[in-house]
Amino acid sequence: MFENLQDKLGRAFRLLSGKGRISEKNIEEAVKQVKLSLLEADVNYKVVKEFINGVTEKSLGEEVLKSFSPDQQFIKIVRDELINMLGERSSPLRLSSQPARIMMVGLQGSGKTTTSAKLATLLRKEGKKPLLVAADVYRPAAIDQLVQLGKQIDIPVFTGDRRNPVVIVKEAMQQAIKNINDVVILDTAGRLHIDDTMMSELKEIAALVKPDEILMVVDAMTGQDAVNSAKAFNEALELSGFVVTKLDGDARGGVILSIRHVTGKPVKFIGVSEKPDGLEVFYPDRVAGRILG
């Protein structure tokens, strides 16, 4: 997904390689190339601006100008800024309640239902006993979809009252205690656009459930819009992190680079296929490595 960005950044770095001495102008040219590469990869423009300010400030110092290998110094500066933007380590789930509660939120089509099932699969691999809860009452097909997915992966799905998500959630928690499920994953309703009714319902569910994690599922293909909706959800709901999906497609990946910077919350998982095992823990340092080649 970052091949293009990697390629473009490589070109920026080559502007400084093999030169005996470099000037401020050489660096400015390389910085400009880095900026264009990031914008083209769909990174939010405000994030790019801050990134570039950081890189410019550090690379115009004596260290780079007088270095024997200015290109290597420059790559290091870009790498440090990338890690600064992405966060250094992965951010594991914090599941302390008994049963633990994970609330999945996001816009319709982002991959929320599929991701709920994928997350259940991943947690089962870690020895947990998850219960999936179908609380998306506005898209009846979503309930059936989750039931189907549950059958496929052999994980129980609680459906309950198909009209009232708050009732569903209450009953589901009792069911989890009865069945000794140690983690409950709630697939909540999404809409095509953010609206007040959806947000107040999600807030109501969150107040009732007191989730250990509220994860927003974001579709990487939606580029800048993804960043705007992430911001709005985070302001309304105090998210604990993000899952960025569809990174196996044509997405340029910029969403991953923008989200933490814009919201202050980490990307915890990435979706890399439609299949039940297509969810991976997100490791920022590995992504930085991949981008820099």
Interface with ligand GDP by CB under 6 A: which residues? 106, 108-114, 142, 145, 190, 245-246, 248-249, 271-274, 278
Nearer to ligand GDP by C-beta: 211 or 278?
A: 278
Check whether 113 is labelled as a binding-site residue: yes
* Closest residue by beta carbon to ligand GDP: 271
Check whether 254 is labelled as a binding-site residue: no
Minimal distance, residue 232 CB to ligand GDP, in Å: 16
Check whether 109 is labelled as a binding-site residue: yes
Check whether 241 is labelled as a binding-site residue: no
Minimal distance, residue 127 CB to ligand GDP, in Å: 24
Matching residue, tokens 């705007």: 228
Minimal distance, residue 215 CB to ligand GDP, in Å: 12
Check whether 112 is labelled as a binding-site residue: yes
Nearer to ligand GDP by C-beta: 34 or 216?
A: 216
Minimal distance, residue 144 CB to ligand GDP, in Å: 11
Minimal distance, residue 95 CB to ligand GDP, in Å: 22
- The token duo for 4 is 């293009």
Minimal distance, residue 237 CB to ligand GDP, in Å: 16
Check whether 106 is labelled as a binding-site residue: yes
Nearer to ligand GDP by C-beta: 106 or 211?
A: 106
Check whether 107 is labelled as a binding-site residue: yes
Respond yes or no on whether the N-terminal peptide bond of residue 99 is cis (omega within 30° of 0).
yes
Amino acid, res. 137: V
In sequence order, the β-bridge partners of residue 132 are 157, 185
Nearer to ligand GDP by C-beta: 85 or 247?
A: 247
Binding residues, as ranges, are 106-113, 187-191, 245-248
Q: Which residues are annotated as a binding site for GTP?
A: 106-113, 187-191, 245-248
